[in-house]
Each structure stands twice: as structure tokens, then as C-alpha cells.
Amino acid sequence: MIGGLQSVTLGRVGALTVKAWPAIKGTLCRTVDPTRKQRKLVGRYTAGIGQLGSEALDVRLDGIYALESLGAESKTYRHPVVEVLSAFVREHTIPDHPHGARRSWAAWSGRATSGRSASLEPPAPADQATSDTPLDLGRNPDTDVQAALTALGRLSSKIGISRAVPFSAWLHGMDRTGAWLCEVDLTGARLEGADLTEASLHGADLTEARLEGADLTGAQLTGADLTEASLHGADLTRAWLDEVDLTGARLEGADLTRVLLWKANLTRASLDGANLTEALLWKANLTRASLDGANLTDAQLDLANLTGARLDGANLTRACLDFADLTGVEGLTQTQVDVARGDEQTVLPAGITRPACWTESE
């Protein structure tokens, strides 16, 4: 129908019905000018959707890139394209989804193939990648899912979707063990309780993300932006957080045992009651951070900046403070310092005496 209001009904997306695509809301109505250009846009949109339902990987990829191109070019189709690609990702990643997910994330991470190596194996050819293919793809998602995520990330930065709309809906509370989400935009995403064990989140933008109670054991977040993120009660045991930005982040009660926080920015971060046993905080910036009641037993704080931080009731047993700057630290007692380790270069706050064992002569 041309002229005035044209209703673009999705009908079936390959083998998936409209009901399987909740984000699309059944029918998308758009005002379409009766011009050749507009008719071409409608054609590209419907063709791209059709390609997503193909059994052939190369056809699905063509559909993803075609829709991304359309979303970048046309304001009318930007949000519908984001909705379609987001729904595509959900349909192909949520375990036991009633609308035909090809494989659960556990299968991608190797957890569904016990006894097999978790090392990365080449995927099956496109014409063999069906719903019954028992692949072990290490920790990488399927090629088409990764392509859709990448496209969504590019569209987010290009069209101003600032709240990680494409991702938060399908990540919330889900098992994404071993997820490959490098440099993805998850700004403000709702990830409470998500299982992101050993996930790869290098350079990801998690500004103001909600990660309360999330499992990030062994996750790799090198260079990620977690400014003002909420990680209350999260499990970050053995996670890689080197050079990460945690400015103003909330980590109360989080488990940071043996976490790597080399050169991390924790300015104004709240770590009250957090477990930082054997954590590596070399050259970390903890300016005005709150560590009341935190457990820093055997933590490595060499060259760390703790200017103006709070350490009331913190356990500093055998914590290494060599070359660390504790100027203006509040709540620190002599008893805490006496059980810690340091050297002549450690800068202590007023009223605290350097233990004799810290001097070179001892």
C-alpha cells in the first residue's frame, strides 16, 4: 500500500513468527512517502528481515549488515532495526527459549560438551550450522550473533542509543558464561545476577551498569569503563580489571579475591566490606575511596595512591604498602599499620608512626 500510512507487517522471519519477536511488537507502522526512494527502503527492510531467518550463515550475515546499513542511513528505520537485531540476538542465545534459539550459551562456552577441550575450534560450514549441530566454539558466540552485537554497538554510537537498549533486555539475569563482549556498549545496562564467568569484556563501556550480585569470576575487563557502576555483592574473584575505570563505582560487599587491579582508577569508589584478599592493586588510584571494613589481607598496594581514602576497620594484615601514598587517610589506626608491610617510601597520614620493621636497617 502506497501513500499516507503504510503498515509493514513482519509476518514470518524465516521460520520464526512475529510472536517470536516480542521487541518488534507484531506490526511496525511507519509513515512512508510514496516515492521510489521510500519504496526501496521498505524493500531493503523487509528483505533484511527475511534473510535473518535463513538456514545459511552467509545469508544471515548479509541480512545483519544490510539492516545495519539501513539503520545508519534512515531515521525512520533506526529504532526498528535495533529492535530486530536485538530480538535476533535474544532468539539465538537465550537457553530453552520457546521460539527456537539454535543453541544455548552453555553450548558456545563448551559447557554442554563435557569431556571435550574448551579450546577454540573452527565452526562448521555455513550450510552445516543448523539447530542440531553440536559445536564447541570455546568462548565465542556464533558468527552471526557476534556480527549482530557488533552492528548494534556501532549503531548505538552512531544514532545516540545511550542506555544499552539492545543488550540489557537479553542479558538481565541470564547465563552468559564465557560471553565475548569486547568493546560493546553496555552503558546503563541491567545485568543484576547475570552469570558472566570468564566473559571477555575488554574495553567494554559499562558506565552506570547494574551488576549487583553478578558472577564475574575470572572475567577479563581490561580497559573497561565501569564509572558509577553498581557491583554490590558481585563476585569478581580472579577477574582481570587492569587499567579499568571504576570511578565512583559501588563495590560494597563484593568479592575481589585475587583480582588484578593494576593501574585501576578507583577514585571515590565504595569498597566497604569488600573482600580484597591477595588482590593486586599496583599503582591503583584509590583517592577518596571508601574501604571501611574491607579485607585487604595479603593485598599488594605497591605504589598505590590512597590519598584521602577511608580505612576504618579495614584488615591490612600483611598488606604490602611499599611506596604507597596514604596522605590524609581517615580511620587508620596504628594497630592496622603495625600488621601491614611497607618501606621508608611509604607516605603515612599524620599521627601514624612508621613501624620499625619497615626501615631498611631491619
pLDDT, tens digit (0-9, with 9 covering 90-100), for 247-276: 999 999 999 999 999 999 999 999 999 999
Residue 148 resides in a domain? yes
Of 10-14, 143-147, 167-171, 192-196, the least confident: 10-14
Please tell me the predicted confidence (pLDDT) of residue 218.
Answer: 94
| In the predicted structure, residue 169 carries a pLDDT above the cut 70 | no
Percent of the chain whose predicted confidence (pLDDT) is above 70: 69
Q: Which contiguous run of DSSP H or E holds residue 29?
A: strand 27-31
Exposure string (b/e) for 278-305, b if CB count within 10 Å is 16 or more?
A: bbbbbbbbbbbbbbbbbbbbbbbbbbbb
User: Can you name the residues that pair with 28 across neighbouring β-strands?
Assistant: 8
CA 304 to chain centre: 26
**Tens-digit pLDDT profile for residues 226-253:** 999 999 999 999 999 999 999 999 999 9
Lookup: cell for 36: 521510489
Average pLDDT over residues 198-205: 87
Report yes or no: 226 and 206 within 8 Å, Cβ to Cβ: yes
Residue 338 resides in a domain? no
User: Can you name the residues that pair with 310 across neighbouring β-strands?
Assistant: 290, 330
Please tell me the predicted confidence (pLDDT) of residue 93.
Answer: 62
Domain count, the chain: 1
Please tell me the predicted confidence (pLDDT) of residue 136.
Answer: 33
| In the predicted structure, residue 23 carries a pLDDT above the cut 50 | no
- Supply the DSSP symbol for 163: S
Please tell me the predicted confidence (pLDDT) of residue 162.
Answer: 43
Residue 193 resides in a domain? no
CA nearest neighbour of 234 among 191, 200, 204 = 191
Average pLDDT over residues 3-13: 39
Please tell me the predicted confidence (pLDDT) of residue 245.
Answer: 98
d(CA 169, CA 54): 24
Please tell me the predicted confidence (pLDDT) of residue 328.
Answer: 97
Instruction: Give the three-class secondary structure for 222.
Output: coil
Lookup: cell for 27: 506490526
d(CA 340, CA 317): 5
Residue 73 resides in a domain? yes
Place of cell 585501576: 264
Please tell me the predicted confidence (pLDDT) of residue 159.
Answer: 54
- Band the pLDDT of 189: cuts 50, 70, 90: confident
Residue 103 resides in a domain? yes
Of 19-23, 118-122, 287-291, the least confident: 118-122
- Supply the DSSP symbol for 297: T
- Band the pLDDT of 320: cuts 50, 70, 90: very high
Residue 105 belongs to domain spanning: 8-110+134-161
Please tell me the predicted confidence (pLDDT) of residue 95.
Answer: 52
Please tell me the predicted confidence (pLDDT) of residue 61.
Answer: 93
Nearby residues of 329 by Cβ (< 8 Å), 6 or more positions away: 306, 307, 308, 309, 310, 311, 349
Q: Which contiguous run of DSSP H or E holds residue 5?
A: strand 5-9
Please tell me the predicted confidence (pLDDT) of residue 76.
Answer: 86
Average pLDDT over residues 9-19: 42
Residue 14 resides in a domain? yes
- Supply the DSSP symbol for 325: B
Q: What is the pTM of this model?
A: 0.61
Residue 320 resides in a domain? no
Please tell me the predicted confidence (pLDDT) of residue 181.
Answer: 65
Please tell me the predicted confidence (pLDDT) of residue 100.
Answer: 38
CA nearest neighbour of 356 among 345, 301, 344 = 344
Q: Return phi, psi of residue 341, to 5°.
A: -115, 145
Residue 2 resides in a domain? no
**Tens-digit pLDDT profile for residues 51-103:** 998 989 999 999 999 999 998 888 888 888 988 888 887 777 655 444 334 44
Please tell me the predicted confidence (pLDDT) of residue 332.
Answer: 97
- Band the pLDDT of 173: cuts 50, 70, 90: very low
Place of cell 605504589: 303
